[in-house]
Amino acid sequence: MRRGLAVAVAVLLAPAWPGAARASVSVTVDRVGVATGLGKRFAVRSTVVNAGPGEARGLVAHLNVASLRPGVYVDPEDWSTSRTRYLDPIPAGGTATVRWSLQAVNAGSFAVYIAVLPADAAGRPPTVGRTVRVTVAERRTLDAGGILPLALGVPIVLGLAAGGLALRRGRLGSSA
Amino acid sequence: MNAGRSAPGWWVVLGQELRDVWLGGRGPALTFAFSLILSAVAYLVATNTALNFLEQREAVGLIVQVSVAMGGILVVIAAADAISGERDRGTLEALLLAPVPRRQIAAGKLAAALSLWPAAFVVALPYVWFLGRGVGVVGDAAVVGLLVGSLLALELGALGLVLSLFAGSNRVSLALSLFVLLALFAPTQLSAGAQQGWAGDLMLRANPLTAGVHYVGRVLVDGHSLGRDADLLVAPAVAAIALAAVALIAAGRLRLPPGGAR
């Protein structure tokens, strides 16, 4: 009897709690695939839908990037400088749209996903939208082999010039 | 002969000082040392296979920042020697007896010290081109480097000259100049967190060196337009003009101490 009463009270109060809204929040994205080139910018738009009966408050949306292939180090901060957004309260049945700007800083295949979690998220799983698969075409931006002639050539030329001047000075000094 | 007679005093001093800096061997030696540092940095950056696109832009920013900072050090080394060096060599008296106003002597010496910066900039260009061509920032890097580097060179050159005017010996002048330079550069090593808030932001903008270095980063790494963060150039510009004015005013009052050049 007491247990039944407690459940009834919890059900009645649930919509007022941000945590309760979690179960009724969903995330959608405007695309599931992006093909781009190294260094190019692109955007993903996500929509957080509150399908619950109460206002969803204290929601935090977070963008993440992961490489789908091993051996590629990904620093998500390099991909997007603003990866965490604190959402305004979403009324019952309402939506909140967030535009995420990204720059493809690595070549390869990557997954971009957006998770939404309540501010009091301890112990609760986040709500995650569909994965956006990002394929970044390789583009050669740095010729590592070419640095050696430059790194040696410039000091050699300047060193020879400085040495030549010193030699000339020495000769002039000795002839005087 | 006629041209020599009509040339202003500072121009004559500049010609003499340029010969001293460049044919005397100091300029070529400093430029050679500068190229060694840039080569080491560029080699380390370019052979890092884990470098991503953004980090490559950061590498270009790093090369420009190193060029600007090292260019400033070259200028300050030359300027710090300008008057105190003459004192140490016992040639200040003869220099002051020359029929050239003292401000013009100082102006000529400052201009000669500043000649190290364009040379350093030209040396840095191949490295900037190599690292920046793939990420499309060579033009911006050249413009930003020239702009910030010129302001900092003038500011540091004037600072070195002021210290050289007042220092009792060349060693003191050089040590003080490098100490001030390091003190101005120190805030660039603060963590990003320490630079936030109004106090951190104020320090960043008020210190000409940190402001200039941050401007380079904003344009080359963050991809901002040249005009967007132009307010960061206020402190370097004001410091350059103010210190140059102080150097010239102080040079006008340059006197030999009683008892000789020392």
Cα-Cα end-to-end distance for chain A: 116
> Which of B63, B68, B22, B17 is closest to B44 using CA atoms?
B63
In chain A, residues with a C-beta closer than 8 Å to the C-beta of B31 are: 158, 162
**Model's pTM, two decimal places?**
0.77
- Cα dihedral value B216, B218, B220, B223, nearest 10: -160
Are residues A91 and A152 located together in one domain of the fold? no
CB A51 within 8 A of CB A25: yes
Residue B96 lies in a domain: yes
Are residues A48 and A126 located together in one domain of the fold? yes
Are residues A60 and A123 located together in one domain of the fold? yes
CB B17 within 8 A of CB B104: no
Are residues A169 and A82 located together in one domain of the fold? no
CA distance B48 to A126: 36
Residue B48 lies in a domain: yes
CA distance A130 to A112: 9
pLDDT at residue A1 above 90? no
Are residues A93 and A164 located together in one domain of the fold? no
In Å, how far are A171, B43, B68, B150 from B112, measured between CA atoms? 25, 31, 18, 14
Are residues A8 and A51 located together in one domain of the fold? yes
pLDDT digits (tens, 9 = 90+) for B87-108: 888 888 888 888 889 999 999 9
What pLDDT is attached to residue B49? Answer: 67
What pLDDT is attached to residue A133? Answer: 97
Are residues A107 and A51 located together in one domain of the fold? yes
Shortest Cα distance, chain B CAs vs residue A54, angstroms: 37
pLDDT digits (tens, 9 = 90+) for B110-135: 999 999 999 999 999 999 999 988 88
Are residues A71 and A157 located together in one domain of the fold? no
DSSP code string of A73-124: ---HHHH-S--EEEPPPB-TT-EEEEEEEEE--S-EEEEEEEEEEETT-TT-
Are residues A57 and A121 located together in one domain of the fold? yes
Across the interface, which of A78, A105, A140 has its CB nearest the CB of B134? A140
* Ranges under pLDDT 50 in chain B: 1-4, 261-262
Domain that holds residue B126: 8-252
Domain count, chain A: 2
In chain A, residues with a C-beta closer than 8 Å to the C-beta of B25 are: 162, 165-166, 169
In chain A, residues with a C-beta closer than 8 Å to the C-beta of B132 are: none
Residue B188 lies in a domain: yes
pLDDT at residue A70 above 80? yes
Domain that holds residue A27: 2-139
Residues in chain A whose Cβ is within 8 Å of chain B? 38-39, 73, 75, 78, 103-106, 139-144, 146-148, 150-152, 154-155, 158-159, 161-162, 165-166, 169
Residues in chain B whose Cβ is within 8 Å of chain A? 23-25, 28-29, 31-32, 35-36, 38-40, 42-43, 46-47, 49-56, 123, 126-127, 130-131, 134-136
The answer to whether the CB atoms of B40 and A151 lie below 8 A apart is yes
Are residues A162 and A124 located together in one domain of the fold? no
Segment A6-17 mean pLDDT:
41
User: Which H helix or E strand runs over A44?
Assistant: strand A41-50
Shortest Cα distance, chain B CAs vs residue A155, angstroms: 5
CATH number of A119's domain? 2.60.40.10
Are residues A134 and A155 located together in one domain of the fold? no
pLDDT bracket for residue A12 (50, 70, 90): very low
Residue B2 lies in a domain: no
What pLDDT is attached to residue B77? Answer: 92
What pLDDT is attached to residue B204? Answer: 86
Shortest Cα distance, chain A CAs vs residue B260, angstroms: 29
What pLDDT is attached to residue B40? Answer: 94
* φ/ψ of residue A94, rounded to 5: -90, 175
What pLDDT is attached to residue A21? Answer: 43
Higher per-residue confidence, B95 vs A160: A160
Q: Which residue of A has its CA nearest to B127?
A: A150
What pLDDT is attached to residue A90? Answer: 95
pLDDT digits (tens, 9 = 90+) for A114-154: 999 988 867 888 999 999 999 999 877 777 778 899 999 99
Residue B257 lies in a domain: no
Across the interface, which of A38, A103, A147 has its CB nearest the CB of B130? A147
In chain A, residues with a C-beta closer than 8 Å to the C-beta of B123 are: 154, 158
The answer to whether the CB atoms of B130 and A103 lie below 8 A apart is no
Residue B99 lies in a domain: yes
Domain count, chain B: 1
